[in-house]
Chain A
Amino acid sequence: MRLRSLFEAWNAFFFAPQSPIPIALFRIIYGSLVIATLTLLRPDWLAWYGPHAWVSLPTMHTLEPGTRLNLFAVIPQTDAWINAVFWIFLGSAILLTIGFLTRLNSLLVFLCLASIHQRNVYILHGGDTFLRVAGFFLIFAPAGAALSIDRLIRIRRGKEDAGIQPRSPWAQRMIQFELALVYFATFCAKVKGAPWLQGTAMYYILHLDEFKRFPIPSWFLHPLMLKLESWTALVLEFSLGVLIWVKELRYIVLTLGLLFHVSLEYSLNIPLFQWDILSAYILFIDSADITSAWDWLRTRTAVHRLDR
């Protein structure tokens, strides 16, 4: 490969304008997941982040020293202020989802998300971490360029016409990169452990009482099946980290990934984790295919209405 072709590939990947529909759809799913996270946190909001929380602010500073992007470190430690953060956060998440003042609200959502994570890192799962890191890159993305109130306002003011303009996708690429890295890093960590290589890892996981959700058929717990499940997890995580970049294999890998996460959602109790990760799959779908799917759905709905 020549250096020039490498530069060209880099530029085409990060800067060749493309439809902002995938990143706009991601914004909607992302915002909805943040709203869901907040809804689940609401009953214990003060227990986790309040002035008399499970982990006090001084203890947090002791365990996690250094300067952090954390609103809780600068606001007065009263119930009213801590609750105000919740409502501002929720409001921003709703506005981000509908795409109103998208850039400002993506910044506010990230700031609030980073703050609650910094305030108590001991209650976070991987899905939270993914939302935080993806949220950082979402700030830079043209997430309000389609399917947003912002766009409707621009059209009404005559600043934009009905056609959606392609945009530089570099921020979207960073979220895609992050997703692939999540899988690849998990794969690398797993292959260092003997239970994963020997195929016994799933035995332990499926017998952890705290993670059990719905009943699993007994044949699924047969030693041979457990080996197969452990190795399948390794193969899938490698594929989702590496083969996802191969265009011809992408949709196959994404479909397998979807089935993988849905099966985990059924069997393991880690609320929202699977959906947090799956949210970024939309970024790997070609905007032309999204448009085709949308047109097909509209046609089907129209035919269905005419039939009635």
Chain B
Amino acid sequence: MRFFVAHGLFVSLLIASTAVGAAPPADEDTVIAQSLAEMLRDARTVVSNNQDLINNPELGDKHLSGRVVLDQTVKIYQKATGSDPATIDPNSRQGRLLRAMMAAIAAVTDDNQATINEKGTGFKGFIPAVFARLVSEDFNQRAKGEAEVKVTAPPELVRNRKARPDAWEADTMKTKLLAATWPKGQPYSAVVDVNGHPAFRVMVPEYYVGSCLVCHGSPKGEMDVTGYPKEGGKVGDLGAAVSITLYH
């Protein structure tokens, strides 16, 4: 149970981090990127908060459908941002991309109902990180050519191959987010060329809190509950980054 709690706290921390780093950007791209990141992390928080329910082997139907998860996500989003996504113009870029994110959250949840509702199995591996990756992948399909979202991390901390950073992401984390002088929680954004097209890219840092270290802490190399060796991280270390690319 601590594992699931840990992931839930980790997601909460990410939300807090985002709140810290979300203050300055004022242009549209920054707002869009920030809202997408917030929505994604809020959905992840919901999954984290429901880990006990999801991993309950005695319970079949958890009544944790895509609609339920999305509703809870929106509530958290509203609380964090003070705005209701439903009020954003669906034809606007932000409205379109935010709705694509919300659709992805609902779709991934619905696609994994069999897993969530499987009776007799405790830990089902439907953890916030996996959920976030699946949502990102679904979102990327929905916003293809317009935007991409990926939860990545410094190369040595990436557990899933699909979350590996690309060159820009790796360089940004190494030279900016991991720099000793980098303000804690401040995202980094830049307009860069992606596949011959200019794109606005944002890297939002996420830091370990105490509960994250149950799986990612010390002793380094010791197996966590998923069977993966712990990374030996400490509280406050950069644990991940949400990478958002907005194509122009």
Q: Do A and B bind each other?
A: no
